[in-house]
Amino acid sequence: FLSSMSYPDHNTINRFRGVRLKDALRKIFEEVVLLLAQEGLLSIEEVYTDGTKIEANANKYTFVWRKAIATNKEKIKKQLAHIWEYAQSVATAEDSLPDPPDFTTISKEKVQDTVDKLNQVLGKKENIDKKMKAKLGYVTKHYPFNIARYEQQEAILGDRNSYSKTDPDATFMRLKEDHMRNGQLKPAYNVQISTSNQFIVNYSLHANPTDTNTLAAHLDQYENSFGSSLRSITADAGYGSEENYTLLEEKQIAAYVKYGLFDKRQHNSFNKKHPFSADKLHYNPHGDHYICPMGQKMRYIGNKINRTATGFVQSARMYKASNCGKCPLNGACHKSKGDRIIQVNVNLQRQKQQADELLKSEEGIQKRKKRCFDVEPVFGNIKHNHNFRRFMLRGKQKVEIEWGLIAIAQNIRKKAA
């Protein structure tokens, strides 16, 4: 009535939401958080972090997989090598056909050059096998185009394993809302939030399905928003990696972060089931060796270097037992056929011990208890009570705007409540 029945159509609203808000929404969210902090309703220095996967607005049947691209590339290599062998068998000295090309790395230029040379040699021959001629025709028509398409798809993939053709920023992930219970994958985004008193303090969206590899970018977003580092962070075992512990140490953030098996190791039943695990073996620092359950020395044999998907380098010291074949505990102590070898990541051991001390302290116990009813109910409220289980916009930039609106609405609803 007040606007004389004049109202914006859906395109106007969508343009405002998807275009006009892209530079302003994050600042609005941060101002809301700072206002709530001034009123004493939340802390921006001590947060609880967790993530959830929300389905993207994308077709789940149109997808691109990195493994499929690699398989198709191998088929192209083998087919070209096969035709090249045939060309060498029928080529004369005049053809001057060189040795087969090196297909260790394959590119559209290399494929095109190979196809041109094959056509140059086989095209002028009269008594060519018909099947081989048909194969060469198919290769000439399709392979250069296919390789160019694969290179374009790999550029979109980046460090991911999959993406949806209708929303290339979305990655296929395993969601908990799997009504068929067959472990099907759907295009989705991994949403990370940090909360305080059930208010969202920080949020970030990721194409990586594992929470472990999202923490660095999530903390960077926090520092860009508020210009300082956190004082403490509390999170579950999904974030407990050497890379994340090292990052939190460098930023001088108290890490109330569980590691894998932390909860299980609090129960005697688990410890009784694994009496010979590497962490229960005695270590002699003077001789730099471990003592196996039968009292024999396990001597240092070298280091094993591992590089994670993000490029983080991990180093583990390896210790090997001797005469395991004649040991009466063989089969119970370890399952390997030869002598037992254990890998000890000294830095990670130290970090886990620090995490144990923090998590088992009086403050750590309180934080562990509070995490369950601080950050997790926020996702429950948004997804169950307000039925937000699927994004409506496509593309990471627009999806971030959509989640930003959800986060602001969550904070305002929480304050009103």
Mean of pLDDT values over 104-121: 86
Place of tokens 């860009």: 224
How much is the mean pLDDT over the chain? 91
- Is the pLDDT higher at 357 or at 329? 357
Interaxial angle between packed helices 25-38 and 396-416, expressed in degrees from 0 to 180 and rounded to the nearest 10: 20
Per-residue pLDDT at 97: 67
Burial per residue of 306-334, b for 16 or more beta-carbon CB atoms within 10 angstroms, e otherwise: eeeeeebebebbebbbeebeebeebeebb
**What CA–CA distance (Å, rounded) separates 370 from 356?**
17
**Residue 335 predicted with pLDDT over 80:** yes
Q: pLDDT band at residue 90, thresholds of 50, 70 and 90?
A: confident
> Kind and range of the H or E element at 8?
none
Q: pLDDT band at residue 33, thresholds of 50, 70 and 90?
A: very high
3-state SS class at 312: coil
Per-residue pLDDT at 179: 66
Per-residue pLDDT at 197: 95
Q: Is the dihedral of CA 219, 224, 226, 229 positive or negative?
A: positive
Per-residue pLDDT at 180: 66
Decide: 300 and 288 in contact? Cβ < 8 Å. yes
Per-residue pLDDT at 164: 96
Per-residue pLDDT at 118: 85
Per-residue model confidence as pLDDT tens digits over 231-287 = 999 999 999 999 999 999 999 999 999 999 999 988 888 888 888 889 899 999 999
Of 1-5, 336-340, 399-403, where does the model show the most confidence?
A: 399-403
Q: Residues 6 or more apart from 389 whose CB is under 8 A from it?
A: 54, 55, 177, 383
Count of CA atoms in the C-beta half-sphere (13 A) of 263:
7
Cα 193 to Cα 160, 251, 320: the distances in Å are 21, 19, 44
Decide: 199 and 36 in contact? Cβ < 8 Å. yes
**Residue 74 predicted with pLDDT over 90:** yes
Q: What is the DSSP letter of 391?
A: -
- Write down all domains in the chain, each with its CATH number in brackets: 23-59+173-262+354-416 (3.30.420.10), 64-157 (no CATH), 274-345 (no CATH)
**What CA–CA distance (Å, rounded) separates 415 from 141?**
64
Residue 172 corresponds to which amino acid?
Answer: F
Per-residue model confidence as pLDDT tens digits over 149-194 = 999 999 999 999 999 999 999 999 998 876 666 668 999 999 999 9
**What CA–CA distance (Å, rounded) separates 86 from 88?**
5
Per-residue pLDDT at 362: 95
**Residue 86 predicted with pLDDT over 70:** yes
Token pair for 86: 């045939």
**What CA–CA distance (Å, rounded) separates 282 from 285?**
10
Per-residue model confidence as pLDDT tens digits over 130-155 = 888 899 899 999 999 999 999 999 99
Burial per residue of 170-188, b for 16 or more beta-carbon CB atoms within 10 angstroms, e otherwise: bbbbebeeeeeeeeebbbb
Per-residue pLDDT at 306: 94
Decide: 184 and 79 in contact? Cβ < 8 Å. no
Per-residue pLDDT at 128: 80
**Residue 312 predicted with pLDDT over 90:** yes
Which candidate, 48, 108, 14, places its Cα nearest to that of 364?
A: 48
Per-residue pLDDT at 234: 97
**Residue 43 predicted with pLDDT over 70:** yes
Place of tokens 């009504």: 179
**What CA–CA distance (Å, rounded) separates 237 from 215?**
12
